[in-house]
Structure formats: C-alpha cells, structure tokens
Amino acid sequence: MGLMLERLDAKLTRWIARQPMFFVATAPSDGGRVNLSPKGHDTLRVLDESTVAYLDLTGSGVETIAHIRENGRITVMLCAFWGPPLIVRLSGTGEVAVVGEPAFEEQRVLFPDLPGSRAVVTVHLDRVQTSCGYAVPRMELVDERDTLLTWAERKGDDGLERYRAKKNAESVDGVPGLLG
C-alpha cells in the first residue's frame, strides 16, 4: 500500500516524468480558501531526489504564488490514470521565481518554451508519500488543450503584463500575489 519516504528514488522519478498532469495544493495561513490547481503541458521536473520544480503559466488566479510567498507550504500530487494504480504526494516548502528575475531566467531553460510563462515554482521536499490509488479511474489521454497557450499568444508580452497586473496582483483572499 502506501509508503512515507524522505526523498524520491529512481523508480518514482521515472514514473513522475511519464505523468501528463499533476495537481498543486496550497493554502493561506489565516484559514482562507485551500487552492487546488491542475497542471499540464509537460511543466514538472524532478531536479534531484529532494527537489521538484514546475513552470507556472499565467491564469485567472494567483493563489499558489500568493500562498507560497506567504507561508511556503505546498503539496504536489500525481495520480496514475493508466498502468498500475498509484498516487504520489510531494510535500514541502516552495519558492517562486517570476518572469524578469534572474532565478526565473536560469530555471526557465529546464522547460518547454510556452507562451504565458510567469514563474518557476521550486519545491524543496520534506515528505514523499505514496498511496494505493485503487479508486482512481483508468483514463486515456487524448491530447493537451491548447486554449491557454493560444490565449497567451494572442495577448502578447505587453498584454500579459497588463493582465497580470490586473488579475494576478492578489489572491481571492487578498494575499499579495505578483507585485507590480
């Protein structure tokens, strides 16, 4: 059944690399809303046995960035939708590097060049937990949706900057998100 590990091993690292989607969960310190976001587009990387990172794309909210900047807590979850059942939860402390910061530019090369990229979120793991996944349905990946990427391309760099200033300045609970 489930295991509690201190770090990722080679088998889990290979399994993570094959997953087409993952989920990110964060919450503000004051008991506000828990945020759970699905992610795709080949944006998750295992950096080493105790660190993962993902490329964050511009969206209608900024919950994950706001919560990480406030308290650092984050969990990344992956599920096997085909093959043997498995759920993996990667918990730890996150840090955010946004577009324009040197850390973003250094880490950006690890990911595909996707329009709308706004940050790299790095997670320093303090717990790796597996569970059975017996209740997760088997599903088939048909294709990635290109809607978000097409939207970002149409906006262009200036339009994305204006959008982020308007829609990504703070979380729904008023926690500061992207500055400026």
Predicted confidence band of residue 180 (pLDDT cuts 50, 70, 90): very low
The whole model's pTM is what?
A: 0.95
136 φψ region: left (φ > 0), alpha (ψ -120 to 50), beta (else): beta
Helix (H, G, I), strand (E, B) or coil at 12: helix
Q: What pLDDT score does 6 carry?
A: 85
3-state DSSP: the chain helix, strand, coil percent, rounded to 5?
25, 35, 40
Q: Which phi and psi (to 5°) does residue 19 adopt?
A: -80, 130
DSSP letter (8 states) at residue 42: S
Q: What is the arithmetic mean of pLDDT over 133-152?
A: 95
Q: What pLDDT score does 78 carry?
A: 98
Q: What is the arithmetic mean of pLDDT over 91-98?
A: 98
CATH 3.30.470.20 is the classification of domain 3-167: no
